[in-house]
Every structure is written in C-alpha cells, then in structure tokens.
Amino acid sequence: MNDSAPFEPFPHYVDARKVFSQKGNFSGELGKEKFDRLPSLLVEGVFSVNAELRFSIGDRGRRMIEGNVDAQVSVACQRCLKPLELTLADDIRLALVQDEEAAEKLDNGIDPWIEAEYRLNPAQIVEEQLLLSMPLAAYHDEKECQIELPAPRANGALAAKQDPSPFAILKELKK
C-alpha cells in the first residue's frame, strides 16, 4: 500500500512545516529560470533537467528529502572551449536540519540540508545536487577535441621548438 501523495509539478516554495507531514511529492522538468547558479556554468546548447523529490518523516522523526535528478547540459570543454554535452544524474537522500551540530549527528549515506527558514525552494535542492554531480574539469575525448596538441617526443616530453637560451643571447651580446 502506497500512502504517499501523487506527484505534483515543482512549486516555487514549500512550507517546511507542512510538506513533510503531508508527504509532498514533486516531479517534472525544470527550466533554466528556476536556477540561480547553474546557468552561469553552462554554454548555449542542450539543457534538460528532470527531477523527482519526495518529502517524508523518517525514522527518529527526521525530515527526509529523497529522489533523483537527471540532466543533459552543455558546458565549455576545458581544452578546446567548444560546447560539450554532459549527462548528470544523482540520487538524492537528504535530511533537513537546522544547524551544523545536527548535521554532524546524521548517519552515513544521509547528507544534510541546512535550512533555518520555513520556506524551502525545491529547485534549489535540485540545483545543489546538479552542481555537486558536475565534474571538476569537463573535456571531450582527445579524438573528438577540436584543438591541436603538440606531438610527444620519444622521451615523453612534448616537442617544442628550440628557442635560443636567454644566456646564449647574453653571451653573444657580451662579445
């Protein structure tokens, strides 16, 4: 028997005092306008974010936020600076806590969501999970990247044109 509420579209805000006891469930696609920080990391191109959040009161009276997020986004390749499509996916398992002290008491596998306000923004939770799932440096495979890298030399060092040593130039000037 499933006693959870049916899934609803994402609201702008939810009341943290009610959403957990009412077992709120939100699901759907989120547009760029719902996010504050994520769009600044993206380039023009693919943008699709689908998420599902379930709010409940778990064991020990914990207010739990569980769900998942899947996204297709375009970022700049760190090698060639051309658009690179990334697939981001993350499972969400958070406990709403009011301070760092309560966060330290959580079991392994449960991440804290520190919020002292009564208003929760579900899109902000999704955005944070997406930011955490992004790679530190995103780049194409070497074969796909549109940049010409110097060829390696036999000893493993990169081939570089032989510029005269600055000391050799000084030696010539001293003559």
Average pLDDT along the chain = 86
Contact 51, 30 (CB under 8 A): yes
- Which residues have C-beta within 8 Å of that of residue 77, sequence separation ≥ 6? 83, 84, 138, 139, 140, 145
Distance CA 22, CA 156 (A): 62
Q: Which two tokens stand for residue 146?
A: 């549109």
Give per-residue pLDDT as tens, 133-162. 999 999 988 888 877 656 666 665 655 566
- Which residues have C-beta within 8 Å of that of residue 69, sequence separation ≥ 6? 49, 50, 51, 52, 88, 89, 90, 92, 126, 129, 130, 133
Residue 44's SS3 state is coil
pLDDT at position 164: 73
Cα distances from 73 to residues 120, 146, 155, 165, in angstroms, run 25, 19, 39, 46
pLDDT of 1 strictly over 50: no
Tokens 């044109």 correspond to 161
Report percent pLDDT > 70 for the chain. Answer: 87
Tokens 């006891």 correspond to 21
pLDDT at position 55: 96
In 3D space, the residue among 4, 52, 9 whose CA is nearest the CA of residue 24 turns out to be 4
Beta 14-15 vs 25-30: how paired, if at all? unpaired
Distance CA 65, CA 115 (A): 12
Query: What pTM was estimated for this model as a whole?
Result: 0.77
Give per-residue pLDDT as tens, 114-133. 988 889 999 999 999 999 99
